[in-house]
Copies of this chain bind each other. A is one copy, B any other.
Amino acid sequence: MNEGAMQRYALTLNKFLDHAAKWHPRAVVVTAAGDGTVERSDYATLRRRARRVSALLARRGIGKGDRVATLAWNSRAHMEVWYGIMGMGAVCHTLNPRLTAEQSAEMARQSGATVLVASADLALLAERIAKLTPEVESLFIIDGEGRLPGLNAALEEVEEEAAGWGEFDENLASGLCFTSGTTGAPKGVLYSHRSGYLHTLRLLQADVIGLTSAETVLVAVPMFHANAWGLPFAAPAVGARMVLPGRYLDGASLTRLMAREGVTLAVGVPTVWLGVLDHIEEEGGELPSLKRILVGGAPMPAALMKRLEQRLGVVVQTSWGMTELSPLGSITPVSEPERDAASAGRVAVGVDLLLTDEYGTALPRQRDVEGHLRVRGPAVVAQYLGQQDSALDAQGWFATGDLARLDEDGRLTITGRAKDLIKSGGEWINPAELEAIANALPQIAQVAVIGRADPRWGERPLLVVETKADQNIEDQEILDAMRGRVASWWLPDSVVRVARMPLAATGKIDKKRLRAAYGHV
């Protein structure tokens, strides 16, 4: 017998809620209701109700591996449904309320979901999705009652039964999320219990998020995309208090919520914190309990980071991730002495990185050069939903599509997206560098640089600009800001003004639409 003689223990996600309910039963889970009030629950209650959700789904014929879709904001009710679905071995397919009914229906068809669970204020959208997806047999509303069947009433019909709670292999699928699809059709990533469990343990490392039971964490990243960065698993795993903001992520709502609930750690994309700062600077106010803001999902402007640190006295932790990475890839450790808005931080054990050339061959030198970033680890996708081909190369690496650089000490900087690169006269132009210069101009709201077909050079850069509401800036002034800081042949040939930059459902600029509109002469 060559095996060790230690206990069997499947790495299943229900164990985080089991731990919280047993060891931190009264740690609160707060949900903002939208009218300024909040609803309070705790982990013991949340687990009891999650097990009832499991029992209800089992009674409706849902079994292991079956897909159940959710369409909801961040709330206690959504968490109960998450754990209810995953805890019985079904797959939680999170739909994005910012997509059209047609887009969501296409994803639901791909996943084969037969049950859809939605927030009350998304009932109309949910009905349209259900109508477009004949496979969907049942539709429940998770918060409140109305014309459609409510989950609360249905839960009263069932007992808190086991329904196979946690009784399955750790490699069973647990969740499904589609990529944002800014560079191609959205692709489904099918997470497993094991990948989610190991991702969570990585988050809990002191050099990663390092959540403790003494923290109160505001989860201002959506549970409907990329697992809300794993926080609905990490927080119960240590018994941290949770504050779930519901639908409204504006500065006023979040500032009030954080102040009232004594939030110590707040998690969200940069624009969310811009809203909070603007609100506080206009209306006044303090957030004395707030110690740390974790940002990711988009490049962090250096000026915003400085303002947050100075005005709120917080540590800003930058990070990099992808839907395909569960999602966290790298993060600036809290113990890191140097803080740089442009840095994606470091990787923790369980994530490995490789820089390659455009064909996937490892660069001979891995430090202080730019390369195409590949990644490996137990929480990294191996194959997209419904695809025959592996998503990995022959050595098991996943090509992120990002361009990146590693410094001598192993700190990662994301320098652009490979698909956004513009090939002009056989040489590459990186639009991210041009965008960073333009973004620093005070009049600019958002910019994008895309390639436009050019009969002589193949492609030439085109600058798309949205200015702030009451601001003006000449084209020449923007180009002058770039001149001398990049090679002269990198300078955009033309500038297009837009009233509103097209955004994908995840809030990222939709370059696919820009290229369709302006990419050809």
Contact (Cβ within 8 A) A382 B23? no
Contact of A5 among B213, B334, B382 (CB under 8 A): B382
Which residues of chain B have C-beta atoms less than 8 A from A376's C-beta? 7, 9
The yes or no answer to A8 lying at the interface (CB within 8 A) is: yes
Tell me the residues in window 316-351 of chain A with beta carbons closer than 8 Å to chain B beta carbons: 326, 333-335, 337, 346-350
Contact of A172 among B2, B171, B191, B396 (CB under 8 A): B2
- Give, as a whole number of angstroms, the nearest-CB distance from A364 to chain B: 16
Which residues of chain B have C-beta atoms less than 8 A from A267's C-beta? none
- Give, as a whole number of angstroms, the nearest-CB distance from A384 to chain B: 7
Which residues of chain B have C-beta atoms less than 8 A from A6's C-beta? 190-192, 194-195, 326, 378-382
Known: A7-B380, A8-B378. 13 other contacts (CB 8 A): A2-B173, A3-B172, A5-B189, A7-B396, A9-B350, A9-B378, A11-B378, A19-B352, A22-B352, A206-B238, A210-B210, A214-B333, A214-B335
- Give, as a whole number of angstroms, the nearest-CB distance from A315 to chain B: 14
Closest 5 A/B residue pairs (Cβ): A4-B192, A2-B65, A9-B378, A206-B210, A214-B335
The 8 A CB mask of A233-266 against B (1 = contact, 0 = none) is: 0000110000000000000000000000000000
Report the interface size class on chain A: 35 or more
The yes or no answer to A385 lying at the interface (CB within 8 A) is: yes
Given A333-B212, A348-B238, A172 and B204 contact (CB-CB distance below 8 Å): no
Given A171-B4, A206-B211, A238 and B349 contact (CB-CB distance below 8 Å): yes
Contact (Cβ within 8 A) B377 A9? yes
The yes or no answer to A410 lying at the interface (CB within 8 A) is: yes
- Give, as a whole number of angstroms, the nearest-CB distance from A365 to chain B: 14
Contact (Cβ within 8 A) B206 A5? no
Which residues of chain B have C-beta atoms less than 8 A from A378's C-beta? 6-9, 11
The docked-state distance in angstroms from the alpha carbon of A326 to that of B205 is 19
Contact (Cβ within 8 A) A349 B16? yes
The docked-state distance in angstroms from the alpha carbon of A197 to that of B383 is 26
Residue of B at shortest CB range from A350?
B9
| Residue among A174, A194, A204, A237 having the largest count of chain B Cβ atoms under 10 Å | A204
Given A23-B410, A201-B201, A349-B19, A4 and B333 contact (CB-CB distance below 8 Å): no
- Give, as a whole number of angstroms, the nearest-CB distance from A508 to chain B: 23
Which residues of chain B have C-beta atoms less than 8 A from A4's C-beta? 171-174, 190-195
Residue of B at shortest CB range from A379?
B6
The docked-state distance in angstroms from the alpha carbon of A204 to that of B200 is 12
Contact of A381 among B7, B16, B337 (CB under 8 A): B7
Given A22-B352, A213-B207, A335-B212, A377 and B194 contact (CB-CB distance below 8 Å): no
Given A15-B349, A16-B349, A24-B410, A3 and B171 contact (CB-CB distance below 8 Å): yes
How many copies make up the complex? 2
The docked-state distance in angstroms from the alpha carbon of A333 to that of B204 is 13
Which residues of chain B have C-beta atoms less than 8 A from A384's C-beta? 5
The yes or no answer to A505 lying at the interface (CB within 8 A) is: no
Which residues of chain B have C-beta atoms less than 8 A from A173's C-beta? 2-5
The docked-state distance in angstroms from the alpha carbon of A65 to that of B349 is 25
Residue of B at shortest CB range from A204?
B205
The docked-state distance in angstroms from the alpha carbon of A5 to that of B64 is 16
Tell me the residues in window 1-42 of chain A with beta carbons closer than 8 Å to chain B beta carbons: 2-9, 11, 15-16, 19, 22-24
Residue of B at shortest CB range from A346?
B23
The yes or no answer to A83 lying at the interface (CB within 8 A) is: no
| Residue among A11, A24, A207 having the largest count of chain B Cβ atoms under 10 Å | A207
Which residues of chain B have C-beta atoms less than 8 A from A237's C-beta? 349
The yes or no answer to A392 lying at the interface (CB within 8 A) is: yes
The yes or no answer to A398 lying at the interface (CB within 8 A) is: yes
Given A2-B64, A7-B396, A206-B205, A23 and B238 contact (CB-CB distance below 8 Å): no
The docked-state distance in angstroms from the alpha carbon of A382 to that of B8 is 8
Can you give 10 A-B contacts (C-beta < 8 A)?
Answer: A3-B169, A4-B191, A6-B192, A7-B195, A7-B379, A22-B410, A204-B206, A205-B206, A206-B210, A214-B337
Contact of A207 among B171, B212, B348 (CB under 8 A): B212
Which residues of chain B have C-beta atoms less than 8 A from A202's C-beta? 201
The docked-state distance in angstroms from the alpha carbon of A198 to that of B173 is 21
Tell me the residues in window 173-222 of chain A with beta carbons closer than 8 Å to chain B beta carbons: 173-174, 189-195, 198, 201-202, 204-207, 210-214
The docked-state distance in angstroms from the alpha carbon of A392 to that of B205 is 30
The docked-state distance in angstroms from the alpha carbon of A195 to that of B5 is 9
The docked-state distance in angstroms from the alpha carbon of A24 to that of B410 is 8
The docked-state distance in angstroms from the alpha carbon of A378 to that of B201 is 14
